[in-house]
Structure 1
């Protein structure tokens, strides 16, 4: 169990309910926790503005999000292909199934798991059947498991990682993507930073946090910045602060954050590639 420690900051659910939450340090260095953690989280996702679960929003911002998502799918495919070596691939948090569909079309042996019913329905309309539960009985079954912006939503990330470990083949690969609360955009926007996204994000990580929470079961092979995320997060954050022309100011600050990351190695979001330890 990850234990709460000193307060990091106070914030709100600026995306939907405006409810107030605390973000505190924990017993694991580099990992923060959202409190309180609502027992019923579904209502905090119930919005067509939650773009990873809904394709019906046709705003300019939503269209740009979907364009960036398509570019990311190709980069994810290249990354997964580097490690899958003909083995089975599992996409956890598969959303509307676009990545799984692309992987199958590229002849990878891929499955997807998505807990949100609405997202699964959208995937089904695209011809993709997603699992509605984590296939924990599939021991040593997958060569690659990938979780892009998933671990921060999990109530007990250490236990979840233990389950993932058991599902991977020996020397299997886990790919995680997470927001980085040490980035420049996080430090500039503070409690308005969209990367906190409380209470949907129950935990928050920097690089040290990922290393510390995974080191017993996994070896970190490499990490990579996610350059598009800084723009998306900064535009949302500028909206939350009610800045004039949030789209343009967010783009500008996203660009500045990326330049800063070239110097500090603290991007808005990171991809971590980890190998299973026996």
Structure 2
């Protein structure tokens, strides 16, 4: 499905290791691939600086991130509950379990899968037991499966889409969220754009790429912008460029990106709501 092709951009792991990587176009228009892809990605995640996995960072930026996460969880709950009815919900890439806990507290039948032991341990301390494997044996079981900023981390996106298709009930819905490399902030920051996040992000997407990737298994029924993501990504990108007062500059540039997105329909990140078809 994916093969190496033309060079798209050269970048590096600004977040952790400073190792160099390249991003290439693939045989699927609108889908890009990180080269090389490390066989063992766990060292690139096992740090308390990876905020979606750990809650211990006391910095102002981390506190702002956690505040935004709480708002996002409420927004995700409203979206998921629209499609969940009385069916089961699976959160793939559940991080530290905050969303699963919130869904359960609101009487929804939810469980989560998280490959990172560090994140699962954080979730466990909060009273949330997360699966350490994808429950592929549960065919036609889930009403809603959601993956917020997960597909870009997976080395075989087409394969997991096939698995999720089988796990969903006949009228089931898959909700995914992905960074958009055609956004204003991506064009502005170029190789420093935090949305690339190599090598943790193995693949990179824009809307047509998602349509091309899912067409055999799902119908795209709706998209929604993720307005807060532009601020988070822009702040990190300013940090990578070593600009002064990155939080202030990032907030301003994130706002600019959102304003552009109103007119271009190219937000920093986008939610895709996909309905299973046979």
2:213 paired residue number: 213
Offset of 1:210 from its aligned partner? 0.5
SS of the counterpart of 1:32? strand
Question: Aligned ranges for residues 213-232 of structure 1 at < 5 Å?
Answer: 213-232=213-232
RMSD: 0.5
Which runs of structure 2 are paired with 1:59-78 in the superposition (5 Å)? 59-78=59-78
Query: How many angstroms apart in 2 are the aligned matches of 1:132 and 1:40?
Result: 17
- Are 1:248 and 2:248 an aligned pair? yes
Give the Cα separation in 2 of the matches to 1:120 and 1:36. Answer: 27
Aligned length: 278
1:47 Cα deviation from its structure 2 partner: 1.6
Please give the alpha-carbon distance, in whole angstroms, between the structure 2 residues aligned to 1:43 and 1:210.
Answer: 28
Q: Distance in 1 between matches of 2:163 and 2:43?
A: 27
Q: In the alignment, what sits opposite 2:234?
A: 234
Task: Assess if the C-alpha contact under 8 Å between 2:230 and 2:257 holds in 1.
Answer: yes
SS at match of 1:11: strand
| 2:53 is equivalent to residue 53 of structure 1 | yes
The yes-or-no answer on 1:103 pairing with 2:103 is yes
* Residues 1:275 and 2:259 are matched in the alignment: no
Query: Structure 1 residue 27 and structure 2 residue 27: aligned?
Result: yes
Name 2:157's counterpart in structure 1.
157
Which consecutive residues of structure 2, in runs of 5 or more, have no partner in the other structure?
Answer: none
The whole-number CA distance in structure 2 between the counterparts of 1:164 and 1:206 is 21
Structure 1: distance between partners of 2:268 and 2:91: 22
1:103-152 CA distance string (max 9 Å, x none): 00100000000000011111111111100000000000000000000000
> Equivalences for 1:71-150 in 2 at 5 Å?
71-150=71-150
Q: What are structure 1's unaligned runs of at least 5 residues? A: none
CA contact (8 A) 2:97 2:112 kept: yes
What is the aligned partner in structure 1 of residue 171 from structure 2?
171
Cα offsets for 1:2-47 (capped at 9, x unmatched): 1111000000000000000000000000000000000111111122
Structure 1 residue 183 corresponds to structure 2 residue 183: yes
Distance 1:166 1:188 in 2: 40
CA contact (8 A) 2:4 2:33 kept: yes
Asked if structure 1 preserves the Cα contact closer than 8 Å seen for 2:46 and 2:118, the reply is no
* 1:245 Cα deviation after fit: 1.2
CA distance, structure 2, for counterparts of residue 56 and residue 105 of structure 1: 23
Q: Structure 2 CA distance, aligned partners of 1:121 and 1:159?
A: 27
SS in 1 for 2:17: coil
Instruction: Report if aligned partners of 2:100, 2:112 keep a CA contact under 8 Å in 1.
Output: yes
Find the residue that maps to 1:5 and give its secondary structure: coil
- Deviation of the 1:264 alpha carbon: 0.0
TM-score (norm 2): 0.99
Q: Secondary structure at the match of 2:136?
A: coil
